[in-house]
Amino acid sequence: MRVIFGAMLAFGALSAAHAEPIATCAPPPAFASWAKRPPLIAATRAAGTAMPELRLGEAADLTLAPIGSLALAVPLGKLPVAGDHGGIVIVRIASSGTYRIALGARAWIDVAQGATPLASIGHAMGPACAGIAKNVDFALAPGLYTVQISAAADPVVPIAIARLP
């Protein structure tokens, strides 16, 4: 009986280690929509198809594809490994500023304007209690941008973009 109970405890600990963080606090004000994330299916090709749009201030659960199926706008900033997932969305920016992309899981974020990759200007862990795992900041001017997500272990990743004050 002890062996079975011990095995159940060990399995529960392993399962909990791979579970999404449980939201126990409110997200930062810029990500107030984080709790209500409609599904959004990422594109697998950066050209030749209609691109799904991630709207400023609106979070989404982004469905990704196996990394090998992607045709990207710019080379990935991090080399993929077997089992990774990724996808592409666009973002329209109306005014210059610093914009933060938040993810609910660990993954890589590349932002490009046309065929030009952009360097990020800041990185931080998100408030885990709100279910935000990672934040990456970019200085963006008005225009249309491609956001590439890669190196995601899971096929669905919560995502949002917001302008910082």
pLDDT tens track for 24-70: 898 999 999 999 999 999 999 988 778 999 999 999 999 999 999 99
pLDDT computed for residue 12 by the predictor: 43
- CATH number of this structure's domain 21-163: 2.60.120
Query: Each residue of 58-69: pLDDT tens digit?
Result: 999 999 999 999
Answer whether 138's CB lies under 8 Å from 40's CB.
no
Cα dihedral sign, 37-79-147-163 = positive
Average pLDDT over residues 135-163: 97
**Average confidence score pLDDT of the chain:** 87
CA 16 – CA 83 distance, rounded (Å): 21
Q: Which amino acid is at 51?
A: M
Q: Render the burial of 75-87: b for 16+ CB within 10 Å, e for the rest.
A: ebeeebeeebbbb
The answer on pLDDT for 131 being more than 50 is yes
Query: Each residue of 142-151: pLDDT tens digit?
Result: 999 999 999 9
Q: Is the pTM of this model over 0.85?
A: no
